[in-house]
Amino acid sequence: MNRKKHRYWLDSPDNVRKLVYGLYALCAALMLLDFFYHKHTNFPFENWFGFFAWFGFIACVALVLLAKQMRKLVKRDEDYYGDV
């Protein structure tokens, strides 16, 4: 039986590239919107341009790096549950 392979829209590298560039454009547009609204802040450094974007990015990277180190502490052996 000869079946035709179905191609999905993300199978094409051009579509993936368009999606990534669209994400970059969206991130840039959201960061540029920081100029156009007034923030009611508690601390002076919260008024820095793009503070919350950078804070979120750095916090996410820190969480990933921390999780990689925590894995060394909490991982179990392969045969922890015994022969099942």
- On whether the pTM is more than 0.85, the answer is no
Read off the pLDDT of residues 13-50 as tens digits, 9 standing for 90 and up: 999 999 999 999 999 999 898 888 888 889 999 999 88
Q: DSSP 3-state assignment of 42?
A: coil
Could you give the angle at the alpha carbon of 19 between the alpha carbons of 14 and 22, nearest 5°? 125
Q: Output the CA torsion sign for 46, 52, 54, 56.
A: positive
Read off the pLDDT of residues 1-10 as tens digits, 9 standing for 90 and up: 567 788 898 8
pLDDT reported for residue 67: 96
pLDDT reported for residue 35: 86
